[in-house]
Amino acid sequence: MRIVFLGDVVGRSGRAAIIETLPGLRERYRADFVVINGENAAGGFGISEQILTELLDAGADVVTTGNHVWDQRETLIFIERHDRLLRPINFPKGAPGRGAGLFKAANGADVLVINAMGRVFMNDLDCPFRAVDAEIEACGLKRGADAILIDFHAEATSEKQALGYFVDGRASAVIGTHTHVPTADEQVLNGGTAYISDAGMCGDYDSVLGMNKEEPLSRFLTKIPNGRFQPALGEATITGVGIEIDEATGVAKAIGPIRLGGRLSQAEPAFWVRAATPV
């Protein structure tokens, strides 16, 4: 079974790239299931209902979020109508929406997607480790879910690595998001969980984390806000990972980076593309 996860979509540049590329990508990789983090899709801050619909129409099965989930006030309302939009599971009790869901993949498999948020250098939410643990205990691999994918939206790589080891063998994949910079540590852990510290962003990399450079640079230099952060509008690099899941066990066989378009060095999961393109 093949799962594609794409990192934080930033602004119009990221959205345009997803809408243009994802339908073909789904086909090229014969992907069974696609998850996208969309928490910066609306001008860099949050997600609107229209943008959510665009991402789903382009081929996302589930859209995850993080600390920016409520930046667009309408999200507090429309999230209740969309079970394919997740917010971090460890928000305080009573938060609108849901932090996990069981979804049908194209191959008929039931995929449990869990969205959690870290606490190091971030808001002090409930413990993400215990929240994820409770979810996996309730619907474990081959005890309710054929695959379990965790988007861990966190700042600190240490916290992300720790969560990876915490669920190793009990989840198919732990994918870090939030930093907007892809890491090169994708690997299958000893117990079979695919792991990467950060999937990166789908956005313009001629930027500071997807935003025009001028305002962030000026704030570092002067400590005075001069204006709003505006998303950079150059061509996006789509970044993320492809994960091959062992259908018998639900854990991962392989994980490989995806970096397409824009400025970053280009990469595709070799275990998929080699099979599709004879050399």
Q: Which residues have a catalytic role annotated? A: 68
Contacting Fe ion (CB under 5 A), which of 66, 99, 128, 210?
Answer: 66
Closest CA to 36 of 16, 13, 18: 18
Size of the site for Fe ion (CB under 5 A): 3
Minimum distance, C-beta of residue 204 to Fe ion, in the bound complex (Å): 17
Per CB under 5 A, which of residues 164..193 are in contact with Fe ion?
Answer: 178
13 contacts Fe ion (rule: CB under 5 A): no
Determine the interface stretch with Fe ion among 61-69, 83-91, 224-232, 268-276 (rule: CB under 5 A).
Answer: 61-69
Q: Read off the tokens for 156.
A: 């600190």
37 contacts Fe ion (rule: CB under 5 A): no
The Cα 116–Cα 276 span in angstroms is: 34
14 contacts Fe ion (rule: CB under 5 A): no
119 contacts Fe ion (rule: CB under 5 A): no
Minimum distance, C-beta of residue 178 to Fe ion, in the bound complex (Å): 4
| 32 vs 237, beta carbon nearer Fe ion | 237
| 67 vs 115, beta carbon nearer Fe ion | 67
Minimum distance, C-beta of residue 247 to Fe ion, in the bound complex (Å): 32
| 67 vs 72, beta carbon nearer Fe ion | 67
Closest CA to 137 of 167, 105, 98: 167
Determine the interface stretch with Fe ion among 64-72, 107-115, 127-135, 253-261 (rule: CB under 5 A).
Answer: 64-72
Q: What is the rounded end-to-end Cα distance, in angstroms, of the chain?
A: 24
Minimum distance, C-beta of residue 209 to Fe ion, in the bound complex (Å): 9
115 contacts Fe ion (rule: CB under 5 A): no
Asked whether the beta carbons of 196 and 175 are under 8 A apart, the reply is yes
| 68 vs 170, beta carbon nearer Fe ion | 68
- List, as one string, the DSSP characters of 61-111: SEEE--TTTTSSTTHHHHGGG-TTB---TTSPTT-SS-SEEEEE-TTS-EE
Asked whether the beta carbons of 56 and 18 are under 8 A apart, the reply is no
64 contacts Fe ion (rule: CB under 5 A): no
| 12 vs 87, beta carbon nearer Fe ion | 87
67 contacts Fe ion (rule: CB under 5 A): yes
**What is residue 174's three-state secondary structure?**
strand
**Residues 235, 241, 244, 250, CA torsion sign:** negative
| CB within 8 Å of 42: residues ≥ 6 apart | 11, 48, 51, 71, 72
Minimum distance, C-beta of residue 208 to Fe ion, in the bound complex (Å): 14
CA 162, distance to chain mean position in Å, is: 18
What does the binding site for Fe ion look like in residue numbers (CB under 5 A)?
66-67, 178
